[in-house]
Structure 1
Amino acid sequence: MELAKVTSKGQITIPIAIRNALGIREGDKILFMEEGDRVILTNASTNALLKAQEAFQGVAEELGIKNEQDIIKLVKEIRAERGEQYKCE
């Protein structure tokens, strides 16, 4: 458990142990989420990545992507389609 003091401007210093645990560095944005009578503090970038992972969960399986070669093949197919699209316009 860590403790921080609130300044007259409502600012706090996040203890180093918490910054390290959350991967917070200078310039990072912090997300405050209310859950009942608690506030959850998290690294906004990490939270965004987790949400993106959740949104894409299962998509690779649906597309039949099993390895890096499958991704490369898909990218080439999409580029070929886009190339054809631009030629028609």
Structure 2
Amino acid sequence: MMAVNVPDTFIDNAKVMAKGQVTIPKDVRSVLGLDSGSRVTFIVEKGSVRMVNSAVYAMQMLQNEMAGEAERTGLASEEAVNDLVKEVRSEGE
């Protein structure tokens, strides 16, 4: 996909069709990294809606969950993670 120079903040609009379908404007698709077949997630908060790339959103949620899990298990430093990896690798030998 060719890089497009799109500002961080802009306003665009689209028409809602009879079946509730909306064409996502090209610049918005570019910012969100959406291609044909991509999925989007709608986050509704206090009367506003954010639309995000579902794959990116899922990865962010997983990273947040894993970060919390790492802290709970004492893996708060890179050294602790490296030690765990070495331990797991040695068990497989």
Matches within 5 A, 1:37-56: 37-56=47-66
CA distance in 1, matches of 2:35, 2:88: 33
Structure 2-normalised TM-score? Answer: 0.68
Structure 1-normalised TM-score? Answer: 0.70
Q: Per-residue deviation at 1:16?
A: 0.9
| Gaps in structure 2 of 5+ consecutive residues | 1-10
CA distance in 1, matches of 2:54, 2:20: 20
Instruction: Compare CA radii of gyration and give the structure with the larger one.
Output: 1
Q: Per-residue deviation at 1:65?
A: 4.0
Runs of 4+ in 1 over 4 A off after TM superposition: none
Q: CA RMSD in A?
A: 2.8
Among 4, 24, 33, the alignment partner of 2:14 is 4
Q: Deviations over 1:41-60 (max 9, x none)?
A: 11111000000111111628
Q: Per-residue deviation at 1:25?
A: 1.2
Match of 1:18 in 2: 28
Among 47, 65, 73, the alignment partner of 2:86 is 73
Figure out how many residues of one structure are paired with residues of the other and give that number.
79
Fraction of identical pairs, as percent: 30
Q: Which amino acid aligns with 1:76?
A: R
Q: Higher helix share goes to which structure?
A: 1
Match of 2:4 in 1: none
| Gaps in structure 1 of 5+ consecutive residues | 84-89
Q: 1:48 to 1:74 in 2, by over 3 A?
A: farther
Bigger mean CA deviation after superposition, 56-65 or 25-34: 56-65
CA distance in 1, matches of 2:49, 2:21: 15
